[in-house]
A and B are shown apart, each in its own frame.
Chain A
Amino acid sequence: MSRAALVHSGDIPWPPSVHEFFPPDLFGGNGPWFTKFTLLVWLAVALIIVFFLVAYRDPKMVPGKMQWIAESIYGFNRNDIARDVIGHEGIKFAPYLATLFTFIAVTNIFSIIPGIQISPNSHIAFPAMLAIITYVLYIYWGIRRHGFGKFVKQSLILPDVPWWLLPLLIVIEFAQVFVFRPITLALRLFANMFAGHIVLLVFTLGGFLIAGAGNWFIKPISVVSWALAILITFLEALICLLQAYVFVMLTSSYLQTSLAEEH
């Protein structure tokens, strides 16, 4: 018995399931070579590049509207994240952090734009790739700054810890720094976008389901469901930007622990 048959829903795919996240090939080919997600990622990259190129095409001393937005985004990443968290030398990471922030923010915002309404980040592959880049970056800089042996020692052994706790703490620290950090980084973004899409589906499709009910006392409740869907869309807008901020914030805090002299 299939899931859809659980509820008499006609052609509404209810309850929403993982299948919603696997749209067919846009060109109707044999496999998923060029899906909506491929298109959205290229679109996001194009949007970001075009926006920043146009905004900085003719920089003025007193910035116009577009230049002001671009400078605010970069300045936020440079001053409020890179410099505040990593310290003065963090400014050299500002381009990476700003790129990461804009890419995640734009791809996340796709999840609430009518007509698109799905984010590439709701597939684990995209957040995983971003997390791997960060992972390689902070390990590379840790090794480059301290040398391999000292970096590993500094990451695993906390100062001022009694010797008999070390066997336990080294295992925990190893798991945390080298295993859990990239996994949680990817999983956090993925779970947010995935859950957001599912919740929106529940309220939107649920509204149609209630509207299609046979009882006239139940039908008007669908309006409540759609109103909730709209409210949750606004909440999603907040979550989208918040997740981009959190991803960049955690990236810079991992970089900071790699670059720091001592804990």
Chain B
Amino acid sequence: MIGNLAAVGYGLAAIGPGIGVGLVFAAYIQATARQPETAGLNRPNLLLGFALIEVLALIGLAMGFVYPLSK
């Protein structure tokens, strides 16, 4: 089998941010369902939280390229 272990590493690195992004959007949907008038108020926080969490997964993706492929 030929492959790169970095792919497994990225899979592991994506678990946490996946849960985190889910929580952020779940909280936003719940908040706007309960109080629709706060939708605009919470949107900056939603985007900020989403971006802060999402980058963890992306750093995991970038880190796979930092180390050269070992034989």
Binding site for B on A (CB under 8 A): 1, 3, 6, 15, 17-18, 80, 184, 187-188, 190-192, 194-195, 198-199, 242-243, 245-246, 249-250
Tell which of B48, B50, B51, B62 touches A194, judged by Cβ atoms closer than 8 Å: B62
8 Å CB contacts to A: which residues of B22-66?
Answer: 44, 47-48, 50-52, 54-55, 58-59, 61-62, 65
Interface size on B, residues (CB 8 A): 17
* Nearest 9 Cβ contacts at the A-B interface: A191-B58, A246-B51, A195-B58, A195-B61, A188-B55, A191-B62, A191-B59, A18-B65, A194-B62
- For A190, the closest partner residue in chain B by CB is B62
Q: Main SS of the interface on chain B?
A: helix
How many Å lie between the Cα of A198 and that of B58 in the bound state? 11
**Number of residue pairs across A and B with beta carbons under 8 Å?**
44
CB distance from A191 to the nearest CB of B (A): 4
- For A192, the closest partner residue in chain B by CB is B58
Show 7 A/B contacts (Cβ-Cβ < 8 Å), sorted by A: A3-B69, A188-B55, A191-B59, A195-B62, A242-B51, A246-B51, A249-B44
Query: For A192, what are the chain B residues with a Cβ–Cβ distance below 8 Å?
Result: 54-55, 58
Flag if A242 contacts B47 (CB, 8 Å): yes
Query: For A194, what are the chain B residues with a Cβ–Cβ distance below 8 Å?
Result: 58, 61-62, 65
Query: For A187, what are the chain B residues with a Cβ–Cβ distance below 8 Å?
Result: 55, 59
- For A81, the closest partner residue in chain B by CB is B44
**What would 17 more interface pairs be, CB under 8 Å, given A6-B2, A199-B61, A250-B48?**
A17-B65, A18-B65, A80-B44, A187-B55, A187-B59, A188-B52, A188-B55, A191-B55, A191-B58, A191-B61, A194-B61, A194-B65, A195-B61, A198-B65, A242-B47, A245-B47, A249-B44
